[in-house]
């Protein structure tokens, strides 16, 4: 039977930026690293905004559990890789964009720009934020390759886990490409500011708090694929409302990829629940207690220190991605993994189960309060739309 050990840190290193609060495991070690960290902090400032990240917990999965993932390689080959699409059967960004080699290119661009004229700034801000999130893909491939037992050890490793990660990345790469080219052609957004935001974001990385632990990592990716499926689905729906059916198609086709990826990642976690219910329920509770950070939470455009918060407020107000969606995703995953029906759990496992089964309701209550706050929020200028003010 799995124990709480699954979540106990084996190594704790201090955050890159001077952290406030956080765990103080092995304070001597923290102090020793702190003096040599000043140079690191200086170099971080040059390339990324001085955002704080949590105390970095590493390798929280006990080494003996690594064998679970090694022994699941055959399972992953048979059950995971089938959720990838062969390249020859995949859509490509060019399928949804004006063909620069065709005589009709200029007319098609003109039509695209006519349609895009109807798109309001607040919707553009959401679409740009989604595109920037997709464009920080190097960070997400890195994140997957931090996970013990499943990482791509060489860059061309033949394990099913590594094959999945590379092919998943290759599929995802089309999302940012398509949105980027579409937004460029609309002429409605400040591409230079957007490109700077992408550069800052990739330079900043992300802090998903998955601790090199594939239990935590695959719970995180399950959650995120569903979150992006929902948000791209909502931007598709809104584009239809503005009469831009091509844009609706673009957002919809990306959402369908996210759905396929969600199916794959939730299948991995389903398998972990089957093999190790106690360890997996503890991992899910741990991720939810820490809260699932959005992948682009460290975004910065060189101007707005709270850019991600402001983007999130617009997305919340427009209903592109809301606290209610967060609660719905949790509830969906708890049902998908049959958390309420788990039996034979340890005392801690039971507590985690209870916590998870009532959490969505509590988040919805918080959401009601957030909604009332959102009504009082003012306007903010966004550099992505040439500093025009957008309602929060």
Q: Which residues bind Fe ion (CB under 5 A)?
A: 134, 172, 175, 225, 228, 258, 261
Interhelix angle 277-290/245-275, rounded to 10 degrees, is: 140
Active site residue 258: yes
- CA 122, CA 381: separation in Å to the nearest integer? 11
Backbone angles phi, psi at 50, to 5 degrees: -75, 60
Active site residue 133: no
How crowded is residue 114: how many other Cβ atoms within 10 Å of its Cβ? 10
Q: How far is the CB of 97 from Fe ion (least distance, A)?
A: 17
Torsion sign, CA atoms 3, 287, 362, 236: negative
- CA 358, CA 365: separation in Å to the nearest integer? 12
Q: Which is nearer to Fe ion, 198 or 392 (CB)?
A: 198
Q: Which residue is nearest to Fe ion (CB)?
A: 175
Catalytic residue among 159, 164, 175, 337: 175
Catalytic residue among 121, 135, 258, 276: 258
- Binding site feature residues for Fe cation: 134, 172, 175, 225, 258, 261
Residues facing residue 56 across a β-bridge: 13
Q: Which is nearer to Fe ion, 134 or 301 (CB)?
A: 134
- Binding site feature residues: 134, 172, 175, 225, 258, 261
Active site residue 228: yes
Q: How far is the CB of 173 from Fe ion (least distance, A)?
A: 9
Active site residue 225: yes
- CA 57, CA 45: separation in Å to the nearest integer? 22
Q: How far is the CB of 289 from Fe ion (least distance, A)?
A: 24
The answer to whether 4 and 282 are in contact (CB under 8 A) is yes
Q: Which is nearer to Fe ion, 262 or 276 (CB)?
A: 262
The answer to whether 130 and 137 are in contact (CB under 8 A) is no
What is the helix, strand, coil percentage profile of the chain, to 5?
A: 65, 5, 30
Active site residue 54: no
Catalytic residue among 171, 211, 244, 257: 257
Q: How far is the CB of 222 from Fe ion (least distance, A)?
A: 11
Active site residue 134: yes
The answer to whether 183 and 128 are in contact (CB under 8 A) is yes
Active site residue 384: no
Q: Which is nearer to Fe ion, 49 or 233 (CB)?
A: 233
Q: Which residues are catalytic?
A: 91, 134, 172, 175, 225, 228, 257-258, 261
């Amino acid at each position: 039977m799995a124990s709480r050990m699954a979540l106990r840190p084996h190594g704790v290193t201090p955050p890159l930026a001077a952290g406030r609060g956080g765990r103080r495991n092995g304070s001597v070690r923290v102090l020793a690293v702190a003096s040599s960290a000043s140079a690191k902090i200086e170099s971080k400032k040059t390339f990324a905004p001085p955002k704080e990240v949590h105390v970095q917990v590493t390798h929280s999965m006990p080494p003996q559990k690594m064998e679970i993932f090694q022994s699941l390689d055959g399972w992953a080959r048979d059950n995971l890789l089938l959720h990838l699409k062969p390249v020859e059967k995949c859509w490509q960004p060019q399928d949804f964009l004006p063909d620069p080699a065709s005589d009709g290119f200029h007319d098609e661009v003109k039509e695209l720009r006519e349609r895009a004229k109807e798109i309001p700034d607040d919707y553009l801000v959401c679409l740009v934020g989604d595109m920037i999130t997709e464009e920080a893909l190097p960070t997400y491939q890195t994140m997957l390759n931090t996970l013990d037992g499943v990482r791509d050890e060489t860059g061309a490793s033949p394990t099913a886990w590594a094959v999945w990660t590379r092919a998943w990345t290759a599929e995802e790469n089309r999302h940012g490409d398509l949105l980027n080219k579409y937004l460029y052609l609309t002429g409605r957004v400040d591409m230079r500011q957007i490109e700077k935001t992408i550069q800052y974001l990739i330079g900043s990385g992300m802090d998903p708090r998955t601790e090199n632990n594939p239990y935590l990592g695959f719970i995180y990716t399950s959650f995120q694929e569903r979150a992006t499926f929902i948000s791209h689905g909502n931007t598709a729906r809104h584009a239809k409302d503005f009469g831009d059916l091509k844009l609706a198609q673009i957002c919809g086709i990306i959402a369908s990829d996210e759905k396929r990826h969600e199916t794959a990642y939730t299948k991995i976690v389903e398998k972990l629940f089957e093999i190790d219910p106690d360890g997996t329920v503890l991992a899910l509770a741990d991720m939810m207690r820490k809260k699932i950070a959005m992948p682009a939470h460290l975004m910065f455009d060189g101007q707005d220190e709270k850019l991600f918060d402001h983007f999130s407020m617009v997305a919340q107000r427009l209903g592109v991605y809301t606290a209610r969606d967060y609660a719905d995703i949790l509830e969906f995953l708890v049902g998908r993994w049959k958390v309420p029906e788990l039996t034979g759990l340890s005392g801690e496992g039971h507590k985690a189960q209870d916590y998870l089964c009532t959490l969505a309701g509590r988040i919805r209550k918080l959401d009601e309060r957030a909604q009332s706050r959102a009504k009082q929020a003012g306007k903010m200028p966004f550099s992505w739309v040439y500093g025009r003010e957008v309602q929060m």
